[in-house]
A and B are shown apart, each in its own frame.
Chain A
Amino acid sequence: MPGFPSLAERILSRKAGRSLRAGQVDEFEIDLALTHEVLGPPTFRTFETLGVPLWNPDRVYVTIDHFVPAATVAQAENNRAIIAAVQRHGITHTGFYDGPSHQTLAESGLAGPGDVVVGTDSHTCTAGALGSFATGIGGTEMAGVLATGKLWLKVPHAISVRLTGSPPTGVSAKDVVLHLLRDLGMDGATYASLEFGGPGVRAMPMDERLVLANMAVELGAKVGLVEVDETTWRYVGREPEPGLDLTLHDGTDYSRRITVELSALEPLCAAPHSPANVRPVADVAGVVIQQAYIGSCTGGRLTDYRSAAQILRHRRVASSVRLIITPASKVIYRAMLAEGLLEIFAAAGAIVEPPGCGPCAGLQAGVLADGETAITASSRNFVGRMGSAGASIYLASPATVAASATTGMITDPRGLLAADEVLR
């Protein structure tokens, strides 16, 4: 007797109109296809060799988010090429220079529970926080999607991650993902649907849920699905769909069940050169840094900046450090302005750059020199990711990054937060 279907099985079965289980292959209609100025131009070039019209210009979302604003002539040419492609095909949904596609897509209401979303970007899985079966694909596959509106997918097996309790001060969703990376490794969820649920998830704001789904790909997962509740429906601006139950079920045959007690977590960081090279921040405290970065589709949301501002409110960025901030959308940028967060960052001496992917992928202002060390709230610390192959990158939560920026060395944020508590 097979168990109750996983979230992935439920979404894909509903889409296919027949009951599908893990391991089965089928062709699926795509609800939304995402591409951007980096991988979009070659994708459109490949698609156009087929000589057919675009399947549905209202189901494609195109952004300019990595080359914002263009830093080289070659980047500017990519931006022109993607704008031209959007015009040629009459594509209606765009996010030009608005912030990382994964955040602007989440804000757009274009993706929601039960949808199948594909994008030419590995962090497309971020939309799993909205209850969408969302995954990254390559340019050639996307060319096929643009032509046919369909893609073959194998239904993944599922791993459940139940969060219980509530996180202590100084610990956030980023630490939860780093904890999972420490336990599972970079291929611990290869091919799987990583399904998050439990009271710890339901208590999280959407900002934090998006972090869990976003870094599912760092664990090798195909999708990172977060169970759907009122927070989800409200965030996507849709009426709850009767009969669409996307909550974790005890009777599901998960290939692995993980429980994380949030109150037991501490601030973590991934040391060079792998996101799975995880250790407590306390173990690497004192490593001298030259750059600190809070931004990207992983770490540039309002919740992230509120926690960073808590540290930076009465402190200054160390003179030996450049702290770079790139909000994950213009909506977030304006909210930061309204809440006084930008004032706090400016007073602390941070460098605030426009909403975009920022220095995360080594493409924009904030590349690292040979021998430099950075701590970042983004998602990858591979060799050469942020510039020189001779640089070292530590991944951590926005609170840890902010704390480290003020001292000039990797610092556990709990010490600074406790000091503030005493002084209050």
Chain B
Amino acid sequence: MNITVSGRRWRLGDNLDTDVLFPGSFMTLTGAKADVALSGLAMLLPEIADGFRPGDAIVAGSNFGCGSSREYAAAALKDLGISVILARSFARIFFRNALNIGLPVLEIDRVDLIPDEGPLLVDLTAGTVSGADGSVATGTVLDPFLLDLLRDGGLMPRLRARMASLDTADGRGEHA
């Protein structure tokens, strides 16, 4: 499973928390909003406010997405159009949330080896990030179970498909 990143890489440090990505005051029925995440990121990287383009990637340090379980944080980044998050490590709830909603994430120990210029090829199956300059950063290969989840587009499309096949198998047809 490959992702090509032709846009910018936005570099962040360690312990980026979900209160920055999606402050509590926005957690109402209106749901995830890309601009909330963008203004949160702009507190750390002022340039991102005007410079972000869909397809850009985040390159971060350790414990990305720590803090609250709010899925809004991952969903807002997906809505924004982040193509992939490459981090030294992720906070576990954020990691699960991202994969469950179909936002690609990969743990890369040496994020410093990822070039800022030229296109990047992120191979989630091999757990590698290759730069146009020939550089290769190696990361933790995603569990096959999680790769499948991403291929399905996340947990909901997978459950819908599974329930549809159960219905067909026992002849009950569609659920009401």
Task: Give chain A residues whose Cβ lies under 8 Å from the Cβ of B92.
Answer: 190-191, 220, 222
Interface check A363, CB cutoff 8 A? yes
Task: Give chain B residues whose Cβ lies under 8 Å from the Cβ of A418.
Answer: none
Interface check A165, CB cutoff 8 A? no
Interface check A13, CB cutoff 8 A? no
Task: Give chain A residues whose Cβ lies under 8 Å from the Cβ of B176.
Answer: 51
Task: Give chain B residues whose Cβ lies under 8 Å from the Cβ of A152.
Answer: 145
Q: Which of B20, B25, B74, B174 contacts A362 (CB 8 A)?
A: B25
- Chain B minimum-CB-distance residue to A187: B63
Interface check B130, CB cutoff 8 A? no
Q: Which of B66, B67, B100, B175 contacts A140 (CB 8 A)?
A: B100
Interface of chain A residues 24 through 63 with chain B (CB within 8 A) = 25, 38-39, 41-42, 46, 49-52
Contact between chains at B15 and A186 (CB < 8 Å): yes
Contact flags A172-197 to B (C-beta < 8 A → 1, else 0): 00000000000000110011000000
- Chain A minimum-CB-distance residue to B162: A148
Task: Give chain B residues whose Cβ lies under 8 Å from the Cβ of A147.
Answer: 159, 163
Contact between chains at B20 and A140 (CB < 8 Å): no
Q: Which of B25, B43, B62, B69 contacts A122 (CB 8 A)?
A: B69
Contact flags B137-153 to A (C-beta < 8 A → 1, else 0): 00000010100000000
Task: Give chain B residues whose Cβ lies under 8 Å from the Cβ of A39.
Answer: 27, 69-71
Q: How far is the CA of A191 from the CA of B93 in the complex (A)?
A: 9
Task: Give chain A residues whose Cβ lies under 8 Å from the Cβ of B93.
Answer: 122, 136-138
Contact between chains at A140 and B156 (CB < 8 Å): yes
Task: Give chain A residues whose Cβ lies under 8 Å from the Cβ of B69.
Answer: 39, 119-122, 124, 136-138
Query: Knowing A190-B91, A380-B19 touch, does A49 contact B175 (C-beta < 8 A)?
Result: no
Q: Which of A148, A186, A383 contacts B19 (CB 8 A)?
A: A383
Contact between chains at A186 and B156 (CB < 8 Å): no
Q: How many residues of B contact A (CB 8 A)?
A: 42
Contact flags A59-74 to B (C-beta < 8 A → 1, else 0): 0000000100000001
CB of B165, distance to nearest CB on chain A (Å): 13
Contact between chains at A74 and B19 (CB < 8 Å): no
Contact flags A355-398 to B (C-beta < 8 A → 1, else 0): 00000011100000000000000001011110001000000000
Query: Knowing A138-B71, A138-B93, A141-B100 touch, does A382 contact B19 (C-beta < 8 A)?
Result: yes
Contact between chains at A384 and B159 (CB < 8 Å): no
Contact between chains at B62 and A187 (CB < 8 Å): yes
Which of these binds chain B: A75-83, A198-206, A344-352? A75-83
Interface check B11, CB cutoff 8 A? no
CB of B41, distance to nearest CB on chain A (Å): 12
Q: Which of A51, A187, A362, A389 contacts B43 (CB 8 A)?
A: A389
CB of A34, distance to nearest CB on chain B (Å): 11
Q: How far is the CA of A126 from the CA of B23 in the complex (A)?
A: 23
Interface check B169, CB cutoff 8 A? no
Task: Give chain B residues whose Cβ lies under 8 Å from the Cβ of A124.
Answer: 69
Q: How far is the CA of A136 from the CA of B143 in the complex (A)?
A: 20
Interface check B46, CB cutoff 8 A? no
Q: How many residues of A contact B (CB 8 A)?
A: 50
Interface of chain B residues 64 through 114 with chain A (CB within 8 A) = 66-71, 74, 89, 91-93, 96-97, 100-101
- Chain B minimum-CB-distance residue to A74: B28
Interface check B155, CB cutoff 8 A? yes
Interface check A112, CB cutoff 8 A? no
Contact between chains at A384 and B23 (CB < 8 Å): yes
CB of B21, distance to nearest CB on chain A (Å): 10
Interface check B131, CB cutoff 8 A? no
Contact between chains at A220 and B96 (CB < 8 Å): no
Interface check A95, CB cutoff 8 A? no
Interface check A354, CB cutoff 8 A? no
Contact between chains at A122 and B68 (CB < 8 Å): yes
Interface of chain B residues 12 through 70 with chain A (CB within 8 A) = 14-15, 17, 19-20, 23-25, 27-31, 43, 62-63, 66-70
Interface check A327, CB cutoff 8 A? no
Interface check A270, CB cutoff 8 A? no
Contact between chains at B28 and A220 (CB < 8 Å): no
Q: Specify which of A42, A52, A77 lies most central, judged by the most chain B CB atoms within 10 Å of its CB.
A: A42
Contact between chains at A52 and B175 (CB < 8 Å): yes
Q: How far is the CA of A104 from the CA of B144 in the complex (A)?
A: 38
Q: How far is the CA of A143 from the CA of B160 in the complex (A)?
A: 12
Contact flags A191-235 to B (C-beta < 8 A → 1, else 0): 100000000000000000000000000001010000000000000
Task: Give chain B residues whose Cβ lies under 8 Å from the Cβ of A276.
Answer: 15
Contact between chains at B91 and A220 (CB < 8 Å): yes
Contact between chains at A380 and B67 (CB < 8 Å): yes
CB of B163, distance to nearest CB on chain A (Å): 6
Contact between chains at A50 and B17 (CB < 8 Å): no
Task: Give chain A residues whose Cβ lies under 8 Å from the Cβ of B97.
Answer: 138, 140-141
Task: Give chain B residues whose Cβ lies under 8 Å from the Cβ of A78.
Answer: 28-29
Contact between chains at B70 and A81 (CB < 8 Å): no
Interface check A167, CB cutoff 8 A? no
Contact between chains at A50 and B160 (CB < 8 Å): yes
Task: Give chain A residues whose Cβ lies under 8 Å from the Cβ of B15.
Answer: 186-187, 274, 276
Q: A140-B71, A187-B15, A220-B91 are in contact. List 9 more A-B contacts (CB 8 A).
A: A25-B143, A49-B160, A51-B174, A122-B67, A122-B69, A138-B74, A140-B155, A362-B24, A383-B20
Q: Which residues of B contact A (CB under 8 A)?
A: 14-15, 17, 19-20, 23-25, 27-31, 43, 62-63, 66-71, 74, 89, 91-93, 96-97, 100-101, 143, 145, 154-156, 159-160, 163, 174-176
Q: What 5 A-B pairs come out closest when comparing CB atoms?
A: A138-B97, A138-B71, A187-B63, A74-B28, A136-B69
